[in-house]
Amino acid sequence: MFLESKNNKKLGKGWIEVVCGSMFSGKTEELIRRLRRAQIAKMNVEIFKPAVDVRYDEDDIVSHNENAIRSTPVESSQQILLMANDVEVVGIDEVQFFDSEIVNVCNTLANNGIRVIVAGLDMDYSGKPFGVMPQLMAVAEYVTKVHAICIDCGDLAQFTHRKIDDDSLVLLGETESYEPLCRKCYFGKTK
């Protein structure tokens, strides 16, 4: 079954794009850039984020550079399927915070001719793959890994180092709680 456009024509071929990396690497900035380009092209775009992410705004997706785009906060991935009607592009930020069903949701959307763009952390603070990200990266047609700058040495950073003592997997925070580090500096601090 394919989603139909207003003119009752099948939408184009769908696919999944994943933008991943550490904190402060520009994932959300890249997501916003891609979604804005789709809007400029006058495509029907729906944007979602997990309801738990209220760091900058309850509704908008906001990058660390304070670029923002309107989104709809959702409690579960299944809500995305219910709300993604008559769209050509779906954007999802902080995808690592969603339940495991998000992989099926993204596949369903892509199989129905929708371009799906997701952004999220590929590793948690302990350097392990984060949530559903490995599965999403495996099924995606396109994976873009972006890097931050190591706060200690200036090299490319791909690790998110938690600066405070808290073992929770999910701990929303910014520069007070996290810093980007390269491999050498990360493993030097976490020994």
Residue 169 has what pLDDT?
63
The residue annotated as part of the active site, out of 17, 30, 46, 94, is 94
Give the residue carrying structure tokens 């690592």.
96
Given a contact cutoff of 8 angstroms between Cβ atoms, the answer to whether 144 and 18 are in contact is yes
pTM, 2 dp: 0.85
CB atoms within 10 A of CB 138: 10
Alpha carbons 83 and 70: distance in angstroms, whole number: 15
Q: How far is CA 84 from CA 14, 115, 152, 157, in A?
A: 14, 12, 42, 35
- The tokens for 3 are 């989603």
CA 3 to chain centre: 24
pLDDT by 10s per residue, the chain, length 191: 334 343 333 456 899 999 999 999 999 999 999 999 999 999 999 999 988 764 555 666 666 666 777 778 999 999 999 999 899 999 999 999 999 999 999 999 999 999 999 999 999 999 999 999 999 999 999 999 999 999 999 999 999 998 877 676 666 556 567 899 999 999 999 87
Please, which residues bridge with residue 91 across strands?
47, 117
Known catalytic residue at 174: no
The structural domains of the chain, ordered by start, are: 15-147 (3.40.50.300)
183/157 Cα distance (integer angstroms) = 7
